Amino acid sequence: MFWKQVKAPQRDFITETKGHRLQYLHGGDTLIVSFDNAADAKGTPYAGRPIWGQSFYRSEGHSLLGVLAATNDWFRCKELITALTSLSEAGFFKSFRHVVMSGSSMGGFAAAAFAPLAPGCTVLSLSPQATLDPKRVPWDKRFADGLRQDWSLPFGDAAEGLKAARVGYVLYDSLNRPDQRHVDIIAAAPSVRLIRVPAGGHGVPPMLVQTKLMKQVSRDIIAGRFDEASFYRAIRARKDTIRYYRMLAREALLRRKFNFAVKVCDFGLRKFPESDLHETKALALCGQDKIVLALQTMDDARIRILRKKK
């Protein structure tokens, strides 16, 4: 259900907290709340960093509230939580006809966890964590920065947060075992719609970008017209990307299915002969105790690279 339109802020604003920036860009009567992902927080300068998805969301005419993080803290910050709660209590989110919480990985967690700020919102969460509270997910050691945070603070549970959403779309790689375990927890929320992208990798957006689906998926979810059947037909195009073979081979290696990993690499190399699948194949051959063949595979790859440079 969309809220009745009242009066949305007419001017841009920025609110700085100790480790975060809330940046509002005025647009239409749909508000996108976009949370940073861990890669952006770690890999790009904080000062002047654009909001995640800013170019696309603005081109669609939406209002945009970016929640930018100076570090990978999973938004576990009292000052930030106070600032967001104050916006909610002041009626900021209610002033829009429709609110969409969006983000990927760290941002995907936040998009779900902070949904109660705007009850009845839509959530677009890509490759999220349910939480990184070590007491609840002791099996996930991937994100050391997140594990060190204070998980007793409010808005620390994606599944609980999603209960406030009208609908929550969770797109994830169902072959990625840690991601699947997080989704198993998140699935407890009644409003969740799980969208599988096998061999999409952690951080599904790169796959959606490579298949030219990212913008359309976002557009359809925001407009409330996302069709799962159409998506699953379209996402078959991932089999024409190098990322698909990288991720599929990676999952095979992690499961010690070395024969299958070699087959995946061989098939992928027919399409992408100059790719790093040679190195992945060499690892799989080592797993089969075929060390000589592994070394030969690496030598062949080096020769191809040298020939290409000439």
pLDDT of 29 > 70? The answer is yes
What does the alpha-carbon distance between residue 282 and residue 32 come to, in Å, rounded to a whole number? 44
Model confidence band, residue 45 (pLDDT cutoffs 50, 70, 90): confident
The domain made up of 13-238 is a member of CATH 3.40.50.10710: no
Mean pLDDT of the chain: 93
**Amino acid symbol at 243:** R
Lowest mean pLDDT, pick from 40-44, 97-101, 133-137, 202-206: 40-44
Residue 108 is predicted with a pLDDT of 97
Q: Which two tokens stand for residue 175?
A: 């072959």
Long-range pairs for 82-85 at CB < 8 Å and ≥24 separation?
83/15, 83/17, 83/20, 83/22, 84/22, 84/114, 84/117, 85/117, 85/154
pLDDT of 10 > 90? The answer is no
Residue 7 is predicted with a pLDDT of 58
Q: For the chain, what are the domain ranges? A: 13-238, 241-309
Residues 54-92 have pLDDT tens digits of: 999 999 999 999 999 999 999 999 999 999 999 999 999
Residues 156-190 have pLDDT tens digits of: 999 999 999 999 999 999 999 999 999 999 998 89
Residue among 5, 2, 1, 55 at smallest CA distance from 25? 55
State the average pLDDT over residues 194-218: 96
State the average pLDDT over residues 249-268: 97
pLDDT of 2 > 60? The answer is no
Residue 181 is predicted with a pLDDT of 98
Q: Is 126 helix (H, G, I), strand (E, B) or coil?
A: strand
Residue among 61, 128, 129, 71 at smallest CA distance from 96? 61
What does the alpha-carbon distance between residue 282 and residue 298 come to, in Å, rounded to a whole number? 7
φ/ψ region of 96 (left if φ > 0, alpha if ψ in -120 to 50, else beta) reads beta
φ/ψ region of 289 (left if φ > 0, alpha if ψ in -120 to 50, else beta) reads left
Helix ranges (H only) for 35-155 are: 38-43, 54-59, 78-89, 106-113, 144-147
3-state helix, strand, coil split of the chain in percent (to 5) is 45, 15, 40
